[in-house]
Amino acid sequence: MSTLLLLIMPASAVVIAWWSIEHRYRRPLKQMIARIETLGESTEGGPLPSYNVLHGSLADRLAQRVDHLCAANCELQEQAIKDPLTGLGNRRLLEQRLDIALPLSRRWLHAVSALVIDVDHFKEYNDLYGHQAGDECLVEIANVLRDTFRRETDIVVRLGGEEFLVVLLDADEDEAVRLAEAMRGMLQAVGIEHEASSVTDVVTVSIGVAVTRSGEPVSLDDIIATADAGLYECKETGRNRVISRTVTRTDREETRAMA
């Protein structure tokens, strides 16, 4: 049931956009056309000269205009929730989906896991190869993320810069760590050259994993803060690794204090 609801969330945004256009544009235009018809039929001596031709032309133009507005509105809706460089979701998409997903996960006592993924020594990569190469590197990492996290309920977003976030619904710690290691290994196997890295000679990532206890009420900020703490430990212990933590009250207080 929870999976079904999560699958229909993207469609609901389209339905809302359609409803808005229907009530703001289509309905008033239909009423205006009906009014024109009434005026034409009630004119003394019959319809206005060439009325049918004029009405057909006007209706066609109005219909085309409404269709263009609808397409433009849908495109804007899509752009608003996507990262323009990688095509992944952005924080707005994340928040929209989690507003529904987190309460459902608590209700059905499902664990939620989150992965904060940071590219190792990405500043050095940009300095050596240039920002265009840096953008291409991020696009390649986004492709690896898509190949790793394929469930319809997986939420994959770019937080900004070289940082990405994946939220896994109904995934315990073992599953989350397994997928994180798979993604890390897959990227290293791609072999994007990185001579400025102190880790190895290819691009690598460090991944902090946060796992909630089943049914425990947590916020997005709680989850990200815990995953960030795991990521910080990755960097302190050599990078190019995965470290997981469970979201607890103690962890949340510690990570806030560190911030």
Instruction: Tell me how many degrees the CA angle 24-63-60 measures, rounded to the nearest 5.
Output: 150
Residue 116 in contact with residue 234, Cβ under 8 Å? no
Helix (H, G, I), strand (E, B), or coil: what is residue 218?
A: coil
CA dihedral 22, 25, 30, 31 (to 10 degrees): 110
The DSSP symbol for 259 reads -
Three-state secondary structure call for residue 203: coil
> Rounded to the nearest 10 degrees, how much is the dihedral formed by the CA atoms of 141, 145, 148, 154?
180
Q: Is 162 a catalytic residue?
A: yes
8 Å CB contact between 218 and 102: yes
Compute the distance between CA of residue 93 and CA of residue 180 in angstroms, rounded to an integer: 21
Q: Could you give the dihedral angle defined by the CA atoms of residues 116, 95, 250 and 117, in that order, rounded to the nearest 10 degrees?
A: 0
Catalytic entry in 75, 136, 152, 162:
162
The catalytic residues are 162
